[in-house]
Every structure is written in C-alpha cells, then in structure tokens.
Chain A
Amino acid sequence: MTDATTPVTPRSKKSVSLTSPDARTQKRKAAEARFRMYGIAGIATGIFCLIVLLTSILASGTGAFQQTFISVQVYLDPAKLDKKGNRDPADIAKVSTFGYTPLIQQAVFDAVQQAGIETPLTRSKDMKALISASAAAQVRDVVIADPTLIGETIGFRILASSRVDGYLKDRVMREDVARDKNIDAEHLDLVDALVPLGIVEKTFNMDFITGADASESRAEAAGIGVAMMGSFFMMLVVLVLSLPIGVAASIYLEEFAPKNRWTDLIEVNIANLAAVPSIVFGILGLAVFIQFMHLPQSAPLVGGLVLTLMTLPTIIISTRASLKAVPPSIRDAALGVGASKMQAVFHHVLPLAAPGILTGTIIGLAQALGETAPLLLIGMVGFIASNAPDGIASGLLDPNSAMPAQIYEWAKRADPAFYERAWGGIIILLVFLISMNTLAVILRRRFERRW
C-alpha cells in the first residue's frame, strides 16, 4: 500500500490567509458588485425615464386645467331675439346661435369702450377673435330656458377664444401672430389691457373635467367629462359581466373539472387569449355585436362587451392562481365535517381567495380603461362625446367615447390648444389608473393571507 504513505500535497503553494481574500474570491466579489451596479443602473434608468415622462406630462398638461374667461354684460336685444315681440318660445328657438353672436361681440366691444381702452379696433365685429364660438350657444341656452330675460342686460362669463387663452398661457407668441389669420397683435394689446381690469381672467377650469367634447373650431370649450362617463359605463359593463363569468369559469376549472385533454385545451386557449392583441377583439366586436346582433354603433355597451372579452382571460388566470393558493387542507377539513363540494368552495375557498380575485379584477379593469384600439373599430373614436348621458340606459346605448379615445382624438386635431388638452386628459387618465392600482395593492396587503 504505497499510495497510503504518499505525503499529502498542500492545496496551494501560497499560504491561505483568512484576512486577505485570494484572487478567486476577489473576482467573485467583483462580479457581485458589478451585478449590483447593473441592477442599480437599470432601476436608475427606469426612474429617470419615469421622471422625464411625468414632468413632460405635467408640464404640457397642467395648462388644460386653466382657462381664460371674459366677464361681460350682454344686452339681450328684443329686436334681434324676438322680432315678433310675443315672447313665444317656439319663435325664440328659431333664432339660431348665429343671431346671438353679434350681441356678444357688441357686449365685449362696449366693455372695451367703457374701460376707455384705446384700440385701433373700432367695430364690434373686430371682437370676434377674442370670443369663443361656444359663447353664443351659452347665451342662447339661457334665453331659451327663460324667455322673459329678453330686453334685459345679463352678466355672462363666456370663454375666450383659444388664441387668447394660448396667449395668456404663453403658447401663442407675439412674433408668430403676424402670420396667424385668426388673431392680430391689436387683439393681444387689447387682452393685455383687459386683464388688469379683471374682465379677462384665467381661472381654474372645471368644465375641462366635467364638460363635453367640442368641435375643431373651439378648442377652448372641450372637456373630457362626457368621455369619462363613457369610460365609466364601459367599466360597469366589464365589471358586471367579466367578474361573474370569469370567477364562475375559474371555480369550475379549478375545483370541479376533471383533468383531461379538454380542460387542458381550454387552459391553453385561455392563456392564448390573454396574449391576443386587443384590436382583434375590436374586429370581433364589430362583426358579432354590431353587424350580427345589431347593437348600436359607438355605444359604451358594445365597448364594454368587447373589453369584457379582453379582460376575461386576465381575470380567469388571476382567479385560478388565487384559488390554487388556498391550501387543500381547508377544502379537506370542510369536506371532512360533511360540507358538500359547493359549500366547501363558496363558504371557505372563495372568501379566502377573494383578495387575490379582486386584485386581478382591478388590474384587468385598469388595463381595459386604457384601451383604445378595439374602440376604433366599433365607432367610439371621433367627434362623439357631445351629449351627456341622462340615465343608465342612455349611458349604455347613446354614442359616447372613452377617455383614451378622446385623448387620441384630441392629439390629432389641428389647433395646438387641443394638444394641451390631450396632455390634460392623460393626467386625468393616469390619476384613475394610479388610484385603481393603489387600491389593488392595498387590498392585497390588507386581506391576503399566506400559509
């Protein structure tokens, strides 16, 4: 046995010290430090991008929450508004908004004259560039609601035109105005003179949050409120349909269904559906809901149905995951004391899985809230959100848009004032998404149980 006597060779020729790390340890440590640096760099890039994104959104969008108004006293001239002089509502309704425009221009002109401002603009028609086209409709609505006001002088707070608003927000520059046929430098001089008098003022604009969309010629009047209602009704449909269907489907698949090829096939399909691009659901919605079932175009009901199809896989997958997370011992205990399988599921498993299901649902809803592509095909993108719904049925069936669709629509329009409103809409949409996601996180933190 010669090999037994062979002297043991030292592992390394150098003596190993515990205090000074050897080369390989150093290399490993360096690799770890590098890896950490990569991670930190990755997160830093992410945070940097987020900050750039948020600041650019806030910088471009906050302007939309402020709007320029003109306070004037409008004389409701009976000679123009009620030519027959009988105060008959039917006759008064025949005077269109075009009949009201001169009155408002005269009112602004009078205000300028009374303030004693010197201006080369000597005709009341020259005031047109200052006033929003929506003012006439505003005054007309008041008169039609109460024809007895005709002949009186009523104070109105009307919108200033988008150019004037842009000037006060530093969007419209004096040097560019020379080439702009919608407004002249004289008008801007006038605005400068009217602002200290308080006749023209820039204030918080509630109408942007509650109002309806406006046409291209009056960016100043556009609001996202009606589109918000459209989104709300769509989310209602999505919630009412996808939560019960999704939960029922996943309970069956998870608790009752036998494990065979069919259920495997269904499982694969659900996973596939979750990855289908959303526009495909739009095409499906157009073919099935509108062309086959004859549901109305541009209706939030159809939008909701399409988004339900899109959200269902998300909800089913998250519900199944949270049902799976409930330990089998709970089911066994319930069955052991004589509960039926259904009782075991509904009395014990489902309540324990509820926080996970709700989280999944909220995240699915948030995803659906930000979706534009499928809405494009069912007619929810365009100049639509102009009539506020006056009930649940009209909310579901009357044509409406949705928040992301409205933002997309605004971003396309020619007047740069709409661009600002698109960013403002993004801020509102983000507030909704962040609060929904926060709710999901809170629900998970507070109610989720771990075993």
Chain B
Amino acid sequence: MSFVKLTTSALALAALSATTAVARDQVQVAGSSTVLPYASIVAEAFGENFDFPTPVVESGGSSAGLKRFCQGVGTEHTDIANASRAIREKEIKACAENGVTDIIEVRIGYDGIVFASQFDGPAFTAFTQSDIFNALAPKVMVDGALVDNPYTRWSDFNADLPDAEILAFIPGTKHGTREVFEEKVIAAGCEATGAMEAMIAGGMSEDDAEDACLEVRTDGRSVDIDGDYTETLASIDANANAIGVFGLAFYENNTDKLKVATMAGVEPTTESIAAGEYPVSRPLYFYIKKAHIGVIPGLKEFAEFFVADEIAGPDGPLAEYGLVSDPELLATQEAVFDEKVMGGGS
C-alpha cells in the first residue's frame, strides 16, 4: 500500500530529524522589537562576511525575549536575548533557577524615544515631561491639590499647547520602551508637577508614591499599543489629534508622515542624544548565554562583530540606521572578548 509506505517514510524522516536536531549551526536571537532592526542588520552583515550561516533574529518584546532566554541551557533555547532595558533581578533569578547562570551583558548603544504626531495635525512641537504627565496621569495637581485628572484638551493645562483632544498611543507593558517612558517622562513629570510630593503628604509611603506616579489614566485617552511602531503609526494616521511614542530610528524612516516634538526644549537627534541633552533615551542591550559559546558555532564571533567599531561605531551601519553609538564601546568590546559575565566572575 502506497499510503503505508508514505507513512513509514514520513516517520523515518521525523526520526532522522530528531537525531540531527542536536546540532544547531546558526545563532538564535529573540527579544526586543526595538533592537530587532539593529540585530538584523548585524546578522545580515555577519552572514555576508563570515562562513557561518546568518543568525535568526526574532522579535516579541524585551520581556518575552528574556523569558525565552531564561528557559534553560541547550540548543532548543535561544542563545541571545535582545532587550531595550537592563535585565531585572527577578529575571536573573528565574534564569538561575533554570540553570542559566553565566550571562554576558552587552550594551550596544543608545536609542531615543520621541513623541510624534500626524504631520498635518495640530502643532504638537514642544512638550515637557510635566505636559505628558498632566495629560496622561490618572491624578494630577490642580491648584495645589491632587485631584482626578480633569483635563480633556492639551490647552486645558498649558496654553502654549494646541487646543486639541488628548489622545496618546503609548507602548504596552511588554515593551522595554514602556519602562523608559514611565521612568523618564511620567515619573519626571510626576515630580516636576509636585504630584509626588502631594501623594507622600497625603500619607503614601515613598515607594507607593513612586508606583502610583507611573500609572496612566484608564478613560481611553491613553491607549496601550502592544504591537510594533507600525501599529502606532497606523493609529496616528487615523487620529489627527493623537500623539504617539516612537523610537528615533522609526521616526527617521517616516519623516514624511510624522512631526516630532521637542522634549524640554531639545530636539531628538542622534547628536542631542549622544550629548546627553535629549532626556528620553535609553541604552540597548543584548544578553549572551555563556554556556552556549563553543557549542553554537559563530556565537562569540557574532557578539564580537556586533560591537566591532565598523558596525556599532559612530560611522557604522547601526549609527546610520538611528542607533546612538556608545562612547564606551571599547570597554564593551573587551568585555565580550573576555566573556565577562554579570555579577563579577569571569
């Protein structure tokens, strides 16, 4: 019976593949969708210039990537996790529980987070952290008292801003970008407007007040985007009054559709971020599983190539795409070369 033959051969095929599965010859990367473009540029150049196969780069968000990274040691787990934030203590612990103890942290450079609106929309050209906080926090300071956010239009709290409905598309909580947005914009605005002081004066402990500061209003004026920047762009396209949060590189590729706003008077450019003037920037990282070096061919070479001057340096393709190169790149290169793991050891 030909069916029987077919089935047997299929089973044999599956068995064959199960035995060959042990050897994986390409580097497997997963994580932040902000780092994905950079990682894919490096992966492509790596495939062109080395005899190793082009590494596989998946996205899905920093947290998801680190979670997969921490699932264990072995070829069925990823070798590198990309993250647009530093790894958390909690994640290091989860890693250690699964036997992933030696992790090499590599900072590849900095990335700016920009606020942009529809190009033909209202003139959102200048924000401060306080403006964003006033627009998006659930509780704000009005006449010296902490009240439920009464604002519906930007001009309600800052006459310099356009008279337009408040609507913001911000990254969802699974994105590393969200954390930077909370820390550098919302928390800064919370302090600057005095809302945090009022919370502490109202009987909250400092930690609770810090947490409460990071909350955003839930009445639909602040919308979490769990997808990628293209989703934010589509939402901005559909709402003339909306502002959205983007990565600098994404904005630079879509300058025909988006209008960028300054933050605290500084325009976001690679230069202003490198100089430390633009306040909303964050370092980008990737994490290497040391146990996989020597097991997965090309893993160390890929990591070294990633931070090499010709790639991650100020004139390299990553800087061209929008990465702000790290002034301490040399130290990073040495750390990768020495396979220096986190938490001291070697």
Contacts and interface: CB of A to CB of B under 8 A. Distances in A.
Interface of A: 96-98, 133, 137, 140, 172-173, 176, 179-182, 214-218, 237, 240-241, 243-245, 247-248, 290-291, 293-299, 301, 305, 346, 379, 381-384, 386-387, 393, 396-399, 411-416
B37 A298 contact: no
A215 B311 CA distance: 14
B17 to A, nearest CB: 5
Nearest to A242: B10
Interface string B1-15: 101101101100110
Contacts of B28: 297-298, 379, 399
B43 A383 contact: yes
B69 interface: no
| Top-5 shortest CB links A-B | A382-B58, A176-B256, A383-B40, A216-B37, A386-B54
Contact of B49 (A97, A180, A214, A413): A97
A215 B33 CA distance: 13
Contacts of B30: 379, 382
A216 B252 CA distance: 13
A296 B230 CA distance: 30
24 contacts: A133-B317, A182-B253, A217-B320, A240-B6, A240-B9, A241-B7, A244-B7, A245-B7, A247-B3, A290-B76, A293-B21, A294-B22, A296-B76, A297-B28, A298-B58, A346-B1, A386-B43, A393-B20, A397-B17, A412-B59, A412-B227, A414-B253, A415-B253, A416-B254
Contact of B43 (A181, A215, A293): A215
B45 A97 contact: yes
B207 to A, nearest CB: 37
A379 B253 contact: no
> Which residue, of B26, B39, B229, has the highest number of chain A Cβ atoms within 10 A?
B26
Interface of B: 1, 3-4, 6-7, 9-10, 13-14, 16-18, 20-22, 24, 26, 28, 30, 33, 36-37, 39-41, 43-45, 47-49, 53-54, 56-59, 74-76, 78, 227-230, 249-250, 252-256, 310, 317, 320-321
A97 B21 CA distance: 32
Given A383-B43, A387-B47, 16 more contacts: A133-B317, A182-B253, A215-B45, A216-B36, A217-B37, A240-B13, A294-B22, A301-B14, A301-B17, A382-B59, A386-B47, A397-B20, A398-B26, A411-B230, A413-B230, A414-B254
Grouping DSSP codes into helix (H, G, I), strand (E, B) and loop, the B interface class, with mixed when no group exceeds half, is helix
B40 A215 contact: yes
| Residue of A179, A181, A293, A296 most packed against chain B (CB within 10 A) | A296
B76 A215 contact: no
A186 to B, nearest CB: 17
B44 A293 contact: no
Nearest to A221: B44
A387 B54 contact: yes
Contact of A176 (B53, B56, B255): B255
Nearest to B24: A296
A247 B3 CA distance: 9
Contact of B40 (A216, A248, A291): A216
B18 A383 contact: no
A297 B76 contact: yes
Contacts of B310: 96, 98
Given A295-B18, A416-B254, A384 B48 contact: no
Nearest to B269: A181
A180 B256 CA distance: 8
A180 B253 CA distance: 7
A301 B57 CA distance: 19
Nearest to B246: A414
A342 to B, nearest CB: 10
A376 to B, nearest CB: 8
Contacts of B36: 216, 382-383
A294 B21 contact: yes
Nearest to A412: B228
Nearest to B7: A244
Contacts of A399: 26, 28, 56
Contacts of B320: 217
Nearest to A379: B58
A181 B252 contact: yes
Given A295-B17, A301-B17, A384 B57 contact: yes
A217 B17 contact: no
A247 B230 CA distance: 44
A412 B60 CA distance: 12
Contact of B3 (A244, A299, A379, A382): A244
Contacts of B317: 133, 217
B145 to A, nearest CB: 43
Nearest to A399: B56
B261 to A, nearest CB: 14
A185 B18 CA distance: 56
Contacts of A98: 310
A396 B310 CA distance: 35
B152 to A, nearest CB: 31
Count chain A CB atoms within 10 A of each CB in B20, B45, B253 and give the residue with the most. B253
Nearest to A240: B10
Nearest to A179: B255
Contact of B57 (A172, A383, A411): A383
Nearest to A419: B230
Contacts of A415: 253
A280 B326 CA distance: 42
A305 B13 CA distance: 12
A179 B56 contact: no
